[in-house]
Amino acid sequence: MIAASKPVFAASSQIRITEIMYDPSGNGDREFLEIYNGSDTTVNLGGMALFGVDYTFPGGTTLGPGQYGVIVRNLSVFKSNNPGARVFGQYGGKLRGGGELISISKNGVVQTQVSYSYGGAWPSSPKDGGPSLSLVRTNANETQAACWAASAISGGTPSSANNPSSAGSGCSTIAYPKISQPSVSNREDTTLESSESSTDESSTSQDGDKTEEELLQEQAEEEAKIAEEASQQIANESAANRDQTRTNIIVALAMIGASLFGALLFNVYRAVKVKISHAKLMKDSKHHAKHEQKG
């Protein structure tokens, strides 16, 4: 027979099982498990799985700092009786009235675990529709029977702060993980250093260095000078282009004029040539007529 491996526990978990209603009145439809986020950051519950009853938190499910939430046996019945509760979903199976091991794990690492029982070291009053089984403090060690008591309210306090009937004598405490913040004095020192640094940068040093304002002024003047030179260059290029265009127009007009003058000379030449030919023809005709009269 292969021995079962020991569970791996998280070194420090953001969540804790804080309330168990395992024997409500009726047929058990008002059962619930409550969890609490005691850290100072939002916890991602996606992928976490319940053992003892069957439920896996969907991806994207979160629980903010200081918030409670519940997983229930019958979603519709529970919501109708607790309309303001934060409900994650409905689990499969049923919580055992005589006790059992309930845990929440992620990737095989246990985040929180309770092995409750009815009677003995555990309270016996959470029975037959009475109070719930409530953790006496949010930072109490949920694995210890001494840290649990019957709720002072029948039906418990799902999705809200517990109201246990006792303080839990002998109960130990487990701290939640916290993200450390700088103290007020440290923040003031940082602000002062930042202010002094800003003052030093904007003032003239003992070595005669230029101030930041003077450097910015010089940079602005240099940029203005560059812009003026670029503008002048564009103006010069525009003037040169205008002169070139004027020259091209003059040359074109001269060529057109020369072409027209040449055509005119050619027409005069043709007219003169025609007149000469006509005069010669008339002369030859007269000479021929005169010769005929002599014959």
| 176 has a pLDDT exceeding 70 | yes
pLDDT at res. 218: 72
- Point out the least confidently predicted range of 143-152, 168-177, 188-197, 235-244: 188-197
User: pLDDT digits over 249-279, tens only?
Assistant: 887 787 887 777 777 777 777 777 777 777 7
Residue identified by tokens 């409530």 is 134
Cα gap 249→252, rounded to integer Å: 5
| CA 112 distance to own-chain centroid | 32
User: pLDDT digits over 222-252, tens only?
Assistant: 766 766 776 677 667 666 677 777 777 887 7
User: pLDDT digits over 104-125, tens only?
Assistant: 999 999 999 999 999 999 999 9
For residue 119, give Cα distances in angstroms to 103, 131, 169.
Answer: 20, 14, 17
Summary count for the chain: helices (H), strands (E): 3, 13
Per the prediction, the chain carries an average pLDDT of 83
6 vs 97, higher pLDDT: 97
pLDDT at res. 220: 67
| 43 has a pLDDT exceeding 90 | yes
Domain boundaries, the chain: 8-154
292 vs 51, higher pLDDT: 51
Cα gap 20→135, rounded to integer Å: 9
For residue 212, give Cα distances in angstroms to 108, 142, 151, 159, 277.
Answer: 59, 61, 68, 58, 98
For residue 183, give Cα distances in angstroms to 7, 189, 197.
Answer: 38, 10, 21
| 75 has a pLDDT exceeding 50 | yes
User: pLDDT digits over 14-41, tens only?
Assistant: 999 999 999 998 889 999 999 999 999 9
Cα gap 63→79, rounded to integer Å: 19
- Radius of gyration (Cα) for the chain, nearest Å? 52
Homologous superfamily (CATH) of 8-154 is Lamin Tail domain (2.60.40.1260)
- Point out the least confidently predicted range of 34-38, 156-160, 192-196, 268-272: 192-196
